[in-house]
Amino acid sequence: MNVLAVEVSTSSAKAMVYSVNKGIRGVCSIPYRNSVNDVVSQDPEGVYRTLIECVRNVVEQVNCPIDVIGLGSTWHSLLFLDRHRKPMGRIKTWANTEAAPTAYRYRKNEELKLWFYHKTGCMVHSIYPVWKYIHARKNQYQELDPEGYLSSQPEYVFERMTGELAVSVSIASGTGFMNIHTLEWDQEILDFAGLKESRLAPIYDLEHTARLGDEAAREMGLKPGTPVVLPGPDGALNQVGAGALDEGVMTMSVGTSGAIRLATGIPLLPRQPSTWCYYASEGKWLAGAAISGAGNCVEWFAKKANLGKVNYGTLDDLAAGTVREDAPVFLPFLYGERCPGWDDGRTGGFFNLKAQHGVGDFHYSILEGILFNLYQCYIALLEVGGTPREIRISGGIENSPLWLHMAADIFQRDIYTSRIEHASTMGAAVAALKAVGVLENMNEFQPEPGERIIPDEQMSKIYKARFERYLDWYRKTGNGGE
């Protein structure tokens, strides 16, 4: 049994061939061209063409029959389609905060905020498609056809591959249109948004499959009719690929953005919104917290602020020499704030700068600020889901030993890496194996543990003081989304 797992992320397309007997047989990753992706928006056709190229490369590399295709994507994207189901403009990603003014106005209404949060598990925030749609409708966006449809990055890819209209319950739970308790489109929310359910795709379980269409099969070099499993979101698939659908195992992913998550058997929603809760699969929800600024902040500094003069490894080497007690403080809100403050209008920056600070100090403070934002989220999630027995980490952070050890030192917890380079892509493969009956449940997949990162207790006092300084600037700089 050979599975082709394909993932379209914020920054690239990835494809992996996984064999039940032989493991990973081939992997391909292709970054989007600048014209396709600018983080806050994506060209839908460009994303799909990159996916095609990626699949062809790995299929030719491995040269074996493909029995089923699993799909993964980003969460919280929105694409407007016209009445003929053709794209009207670009995909608005999770990082797109143009709806922040609208979300801010509604967020000031405490009763409405709590009503929406406890129905959907989502905050009143511009990251969510429901608020992007409301903002577009109120501002009469030209790309909004009154007789058109709402789609997303994963739905567009699935429709192009199979010709079928469908969205997984897991993707739908991150839109703000779905009721987190009934797992259906919520009519009160739709009425509030001024949207007919007929303009949304029907919701199916993650295991729903459709046949690969003739044109897509020809372009990918695959057999027409190959089963294609509905796309799952990267966050939920990361939990699957990490073997963490059991309660008590926290995943931490630090890639373009960052997140921490815990699986739970019921929706976990504190009275006052701090964390989010989405549906994963197999009767499991994910309670979690996410940040918008992570690897994208590292990339911003390396490529824009520092003009690409040195590579990431060199930056890490320079950062390792930083006097940590005297380093600048960095607030990683270049793309607004999600958890814990949900301030889409918040901005980032450096504080406590001194004349002696250089490139290594700046890079160090960016790595630290991202982890401090995640640690804020960790504190909030502990209040909801309790202390996890284990933390498993994945994402680009695994390429940086410095950053990994900083994470263990800041959290003062053992942290386990993954031996799987693309955990969420592997999650898509596992979902596909479940869909065709090879696995009875997805948590049967348990990857081999990676490296155990042990915290340095002597760093605890230093980071405690640094975190307090970070929080001091965090409190001083909140702007309420205005």
CATH number of the domain enclosing 137: 3.30.420.40
pLDDT in tens, the chain (482 residues): 999 999 999 899 999 999 999 999 999 999 999 999 998 999 999 999 999 999 999 999 999 999 999 999 999 999 999 999 999 999 999 999 999 999 999 999 999 999 999 999 999 999 999 999 999 999 999 889 999 999 999 999 999 999 999 999 999 999 999 999 999 999 999 999 999 999 999 999 999 999 999 999 999 999 999 999 999 999 999 999 988 998 899 999 998 899 999 999 999 998 888 899 999 999 999 999 999 999 999 999 999 999 888 899 999 999 999 999 999 999 999 999 999 999 988 999 999 999 999 999 999 999 999 999 999 999 999 998 899 999 999 889 999 999 999 999 999 999 999 877 788 999 999 999 999 999 999 989 988 888 999 999 999 999 999 999 999 999 999 864 34
- Partners of residue 5 on adjacent β-strands: 16, 70
What was the pLDDT predicted at 430? 96
Q: How many CB atoms lie within 10 A of CB 437?
A: 9
- Using CA atoms, how far apart are residues 348 and 252, in angstroms rounded to an integer? 22
Concatenated DSSP letters for 139-163?
TT-TT--TT-EEE-HHHHHHHHHHS
What was the pLDDT predicted at 479? 61
What was the pLDDT predicted at 418? 83
In a domain, 448, yes or no: no
What was the pLDDT predicted at 423? 84
What was the pLDDT predicted at 337? 93
- Using CA atoms, how far apart are residues 105 and 125, in angstroms rounded to an integer? 10
How far is CA 82 from each of CA 85, 87, 144, rounded to the nearest angstrom?
A: 5, 6, 8
Query: Containing domain of residue 149, as a range?
Result: 2-234
In a domain, 162, yes or no: yes
Please answer whether residues 210 and 222 qualify as being in contact, where contact means their C-beta atoms are separated by less than 8 angstroms: no
Concatenated DSSP letters for 222-268?
--TT-EEEPPEEHHHHHHHHTT--STTEEEEEESSSEEEEEEESS--
Strand runs labelled E in 318-432 = 329-331, 349-351, 390-394, 415-418
Helix (H) or strand (E) holding 185: strand 184-185
In a domain, 77, yes or no: yes
What was the pLDDT predicted at 247? 86
- Partners of residue 1 on adjacent β-strands: none
User: Counting beta carbons within 10 angstroms of the beta carbon of residue 131, is it exposed (0 to 12), middle (13 to 18) or buried (19 or more)?
Assistant: buried
Please answer whether residues 172 and 180 qualify as being in contact, where contact means their C-beta atoms are separated by less than 8 angstroms: no
Q: How many domains does the chain have?
A: 1
What was the pLDDT predicted at 187? 98
In a domain, 99, yes or no: yes
In a domain, 254, yes or no: no
What was the pLDDT predicted at 482? 40
The encoded tokens of residue 73 equal: 């994507």
In a domain, 224, yes or no: yes
In a domain, 139, yes or no: yes
In a domain, 202, yes or no: yes
Nearest CA-CA partner of 199 in 250, 248, 252, 150: 150
- Using CA atoms, how far apart are residues 94 and 335, in angstroms rounded to an integer? 10
What was the pLDDT predicted at 481? 39
Please answer whether residues 162 and 228 qualify as being in contact, where contact means their C-beta atoms are separated by less than 8 angstroms: yes
pTM over 0.85: yes
